[in-house]
Structure 1
């Protein structure tokens, strides 16, 4: 890409919860013409997500919480059903992050997770890369009620449900979160559950 980009200039538009940049740059098209372009890019760091599954019970653990951007887009109720997820701290390993998030959000103590997907969910506007994992859980791993951290203003409902029900909730548009859909379909394709 070095020969197709030049004169890149970042201008900070907002630095609240994350950083919103206006990025101006020259881009060389296939016809060899250069054009000055401008895009906005939201940088909130990278994130993790995990599908916790129990083969014996054929269950998965999901979360339900309010999401203001979803509400702003479609003002119904703004509640979103998702896999456990979280933002990666600077210089933190994604697996270390998701193991911590599992304990905070859903109350289970896992010791490892398998990374199965790396993806951008909106590469035209957001810099965030998602590192997606799967891990098995059982009832003995439950160490607290979960629900998130008060200091992070989290209010998370923990949902344990049959895998088949979670899959059907994609078809009925009750689950519309991209990372959750990808992980549930990964589990289906790779036959982690029936």
Structure 2
């Protein structure tokens, strides 16, 4: 998928890997502000788009987060490879709202009555095509319809965490939460007084 921007001309695209996502080596021409043409080569990873949600409880002043293995972080110094994050998943040809409702139920066990889309974010625009759709939703104990923990057929082993909002914010500062999407949503919750 590409955009028809007159300042960019795709010269070639070579597939380097087509497993979980597609990694391409692309060569293109780019017209600079002064009108000169520059040829560049980059690697572009297309893994699809995703959605993420922060579940919050105004009365209890808590949020629902998950803890699971993220093996790429282990390769970059995260000793046990575990990450604390907001619930998220790939769209897989679903619309973002449908996707996040399904993911929330699979991962956290909460069946949500209302979700609110708050933004769209390119998470790593220098190399990854993915747009992540950000949602928030109020939750109550009565919405807990299963244990959660993820889909077995997706090899997920997810721990569901109910954390006081103030503690979750402190976990950003002390390094226990290092996931960008989660930090963005926690900051959104604070700015907008959700919790």
Equivalence for 1:159: 161
How far apart are residue 32 of structure 1 and its match?
1.8
Say if 1:95 and 1:112, in contact at 8 Å, map to a contact too: no
CA distance in 2, matches of 1:66, 1:104: 16
Change in 2 beyond 3 A, CA 1:7/1:17:
closer
CA RMSD of aligned residues (A): 1.1
Match for residue 117 of structure 2 among 107, 115, 118: 115
Equivalence for 1:131: 133
Gapped runs of 5+ residues in structure 1?
none
How far apart are residue 73 of structure 1 and its match?
1.2
How far apart are residue 75 of structure 1 and its match?
4.3
Confirm or deny that 1:51 pairs with 2:54. yes
How far apart are residue 132 of structure 1 and its match?
0.5
CA distance in 2, matches of 1:63, 1:98: 14
Partner-residue secondary structure (3-state), 1:7 = strand
Match for residue 183 of structure 1 among 182, 185, 188: 185
Partner-residue secondary structure (3-state), 2:84 = strand
Confirm or deny that 1:3 pairs with 2:6. yes
Equivalence for 1:143: 145
Say if 1:66 and 1:80, in contact at 8 Å, map to a contact too: yes
CA displacement, residues 87-115 of structure 1 (integer Å, 9 cap, x when unaligned): 0012x110000000001000010132100
CA distance in 1, matches of 2:180, 2:101: 21
CA displacement, residues 171-190 of structure 1 (integer Å, 9 cap, x when unaligned): 10110100000000000000
Equivalence for 1:29: 32
Q: How does the TM-score come out when normalised to structure 2?
A: 0.95
CA displacement, residues 38-65 of structure 1 (integer Å, 9 cap, x when unaligned): 1101101001000000111111000000
CA distance in 2, matches of 1:110, 1:82: 18
Say if 1:120 and 1:128, in contact at 8 Å, map to a contact too: yes
How far apart are residue 23 of structure 1 and its match?
1.2
CA displacement, residues 99-143 of structure 1 (integer Å, 9 cap, x when unaligned): 000010000101321001210110001000000000000000001
CA distance in 2, matches of 1:7, 1:36: 10
Runs of 4+ in 1 over 4 A off after TM superposition: none
